[in-house]
Structure 1
Amino acid sequence: MLQTLQRSRTRSSTAYVDHGRGDETVVLIHGVGMRIEAWAPQIDRLAEDFRVVAVDLPGHGDTPPLSTSAKLPHFVEWFDRTLDELSTGPVNVAGHSMGALIATGMAATAEEKVRRVALLSGVYRRSEAARRAVEARADEIISGAFDREAPLARWFADDEKDSEAYALTHALLDVVDPSGYATAYEAFATGDSVYSDCWPQVNCPTLFLTGDGDLNSTAEMAREMAAAAPRGEAVVIEGHRHMVNLTAPLEVNEALIRWLGREVKNDI
């Protein structure tokens, strides 16, 4: 049985958890089909030194869905509003997969609210073949005739099928709302280039982390974004795929702690 975390709600009913304390706040945004619990190893570690807020995406967990026509900018607007409702002030934003696209949108449109940005398993300017494949998956999900286990084959290696990370991800996919999943996945499928030109103008410390076996959020993408950002850093963790934050939590947490230790402009 899936063990869920106790949530609070903002004024507009975004579900979130708030753990730890510290001078800085880290806000975590999960990927499509997941929910707050997908960040469990990061919440536990980061809350030792920081205030950690993790949110359920619209249509996931306990957060109400957006309109079925919502695209990536609507999810960015939702997150921007959520930060206002939480009264966090400038925060450190870390997003995984779809959450990484939302974090990119915040860096592009509301940099004054962002101290540092981290993209885990982030996509960037997909190839035409990759775009066709992800759009085909979006169409299948929208139709309602989708296989909830299909992502697991992309996200995990065969030797990880007996792992706790695999079991947790499987459980989260089993309970995701089909309509909320479909809306977010379509935004994810069409959103990789919406804010992709922003990185040369983003001057805060930026981290781009992925697993070397992630065929969709590739190491090449992470390195290209890091090269484009003035203060970008790429971290590629060997032997891991899309759910790297669950399969390699120690390495991911170490990278996040280093990222959070980098100076921002106001600290210099």
Structure 2
Amino acid sequence: MRARVESFEVGGLSVRLRTLAPAGRLHDTLAPTVVLVHGIGMSHRSFDRTQRHLARTHRTIAVDLPGFGGLPPAGRPLDLQELGDLVVEAVRSRGVGDLVLVGQSMGTQVVVEAARRHAETVTAVVLVGPVVDPARRTLLQQATDLGRDCLVEDPRMNLVVLTDYLRSLRQYVRQLRPMLRYRLEDTVPELPQPVLVVRGDRDPIGRRDWAAALAVAARRGVLVELPGGHHVQDRQPVAFARLVDEFRRVQTVEDLAAGGPSTGDTTTGPAR
């Protein structure tokens, strides 16, 4: 399975899309497309293993945001509303229909804004290791938690984090303030879509109380924990892909909470 990689500009900002799909479904508009949005400093590589598993049954698009993944920096901070619009415009320009948005870390802020502002297009939202916990909104606290997470992640993911951070440093510094100031807890309750919150059970950044509070705040929300750290989607790609697939298919989040994702490695609980 070979990815189709496209780099282009949206509103003067560079973006890259990496599309993987089952044979014959590269342009399929009959089912929702799963869109993967990375966190601050990262790139599509944080979703590489997950995307390959999801792409066995779904058309998938991993997004590299401006200034990340080796793309030219924007030269200014980008607010989350602008990034949410950019993601939807970029993927929709490739002829896709409905979207299931999956965001990790800062990517959770991006996909929530995309879902809020484009409710007619987004059918479901998945938040992996959401940020920023209001009890830990300072730069020092976030840096400390990031350091703790390095002790949890495997060496391969730590290498991905380090190399991605180094090549996105200029945009990374600019995006810190918008990320720290964004209040996910105020936006999630506005979403009409079902919301799945996923965290690693050893994640020091997306802590359990915070993740559970987001699931409760959603109109239709559920929390699922998988073994791992902040990049649990990389540590558990098979379980995570099955979870996203089941979430897309179930009629209500209560069905997911009652039945679980059938992986044997998860714990679930209804948000309401």
TM interval, short-chain normalised:
0.7 to 0.9
User: Which residue is 1:203 aligned to?
Assistant: 192
**SS of the residue aligned with 1:251?**
helix
User: Partner of 2:149 in structure 1?
Assistant: 155
Is residue 14–residue 64 contact of structure 1 (8 Å, CA) maintained in 2? no
Residue number in structure 1 paired with 2:79? 71
Q: 2:103 is paired with a residue of what secondary structure?
A: strand
Q: Cα RMSD (Å) of the superposition? A: 2.5
Local SS of the residue matching 1:204: coil
Give the corresponding residue for 2:17: 16
Number of residue pairs matched by the alignment:
240
> What's the CA shift for 1:53?
0.5
Q: Distance in 2 between matches of 1:11 and 1:168?
A: 25
Task: Provide the C-alpha distance between the structure 1 equivalents of 2:141 and 2:236, rounded to a whole number of angstroms.
Answer: 29
Residue 34 (str. 1) matches residue 42 (str. 2): yes
Match of 2:266 in 1: none
Q: Which has the higher contact order (CA 8 A, sep 6+)?
A: 1
User: Is the counterpart of residue 132 in structure 1 residue 138 in structure 2?
Assistant: yes
The residue identity in structure 2 corresponding to 1:217 is G
Letter of the 2:201 counterpart = D
TM-score by length of 1: 0.79
Aligned match of 1:142:
none
Q: 1:7 aligns with which of 5, 8, 30?
A: 5
| 5+ residue gaps, structure 1 | 138-149
Q: Matches of 1:18 and 1:83 in 2, distance apart?
A: 10
- The structure-2 alpha-carbon separation of the partners of 1:262 and 1:100, relative to structure 1 and needing over 3 Å to count, comes to same
CA drift of 1:96 comes to: 0.4
Residue 173 of structure 2 is aligned to residue 182 of structure 1? yes
Task: State whether residues 63 and 87 of structure 2, in contact with CA within 8 Å, keep that contact through their aligned partners in structure 1.
Answer: no
For the 8 Å contact 1:123–1:218, the answer to whether it is kept is: no
Q: Which has the larger strand fraction?
A: 2
- 1: CA distance, partners of 2:249 / 2:160: 30
Secondary structure, counterpart of 1:8 in structure 2 = strand
Partner of 1:262: 250
Q: Which runs of no fewer than 5 residues in structure 2 stay unpaired? A: 253-272
* Cα distance in 2 between the residues matched to 1:179 and 1:6: 27
Aligned-residue sequence identity (percent) comes to 23
CA contact (8 A) 2:81 2:114 kept: no
Could you tell which deviates more after superposition, 72-81 or 27-36? 72-81
1:114 to 106, 111, 122: 122
TM-score (norm 2): 0.78
Task: Look up the match of 2:217.
Answer: 228
**Secondary structure, counterpart of 2:45 in structure 1:** helix
Q: 1:201 to 1:69 in 2, by over 3 A?
A: closer
Judge conservation of contact 2:138–2:180 (CA < 8 Å) in 1: no
SS in 2 for 1:86: coil
What letter is aligned with 1:231? R
Q: Residue in 1 aligned with 2:258? A: none
Match of 2:241 in 1: 253
8 Å contact kept, 1:10–1:86: no
